Amino acid sequence: MRLPYLCAILALLFSTAAFAQDMKPATGGDTGSPVMAKPMPAKVDDNRQIVPLTEAERALVAIEMRQMLASVQGVTDGLAKGDMAAVAEAASRSGMVMMQELPAPIRMKFPATFGQMGMASHKAFDQIAMKAKTTKDPAPILKQLSEGMQNCVACHATYRFAQPK
């Protein structure tokens, strides 16, 4: 009867020791000294091109971008569950229909390449939705999602919205 208690205590001790080992500060190379984080620089330049939108326009575009991110999450969740109908539904929410819902005066303010990347991203979501309706294999859908997200990464690396004044 005491053996189960002894085993439980030993397991607790070993797990506590392993946890404590994980909590030690990282060491720098062969010196064994703790690695120190770099201090925050005094000034960080953001050289991305500003997309000139009003605060209200900016809010609408941000809503669209968050929906696209939600679609990415829905696609990956559907793929993880093997639910291609959910993949198609999530992707279709951010397809070309979504882009057409954004008022034209806002779209006209976009720099040409910003608009091109956005259109390519919306088309990629439509392609993912179509592919999900014709295959059970997640690999080609993941490939399309990865390729489509390259537009997102490139756009966010190139453009920014000015802070409202």
- Which sequence spans correspond to the domains of the chain? 51-161
DSSP 43-96: -----PEEE---HHHHHHHHHHHHHHHHHHHHHHHHHHHT-HHHHHHHHHTTSH
The pair of structure tokens assigned to 42 is 């005094």
pLDDT at residue number 36: 72
Q: Tell me the pLDDT tens digit for each residue of 49-107.
A: 999 999 999 999 999 999 999 999 999 999 999 999 999 999 999 999 998 889 999 99
pLDDT band at 165, cuts 50/70/90?
low
Query: Region 114-143: what's the mean pLDDT?
Result: 95
pLDDT at residue number 35: 67
pLDDT at residue number 7: 42
pLDDT band at 1, cuts 50/70/90?
very low
Question: What gap in Å lies between CA 133 and CA 148, rounded to an integer?
Answer: 18
pLDDT at residue number 34: 65
Q: Tell me the pLDDT tens digit for each residue of 7-43.
A: 444 444 444 444 444 444 555 555 666 667 888 888 8
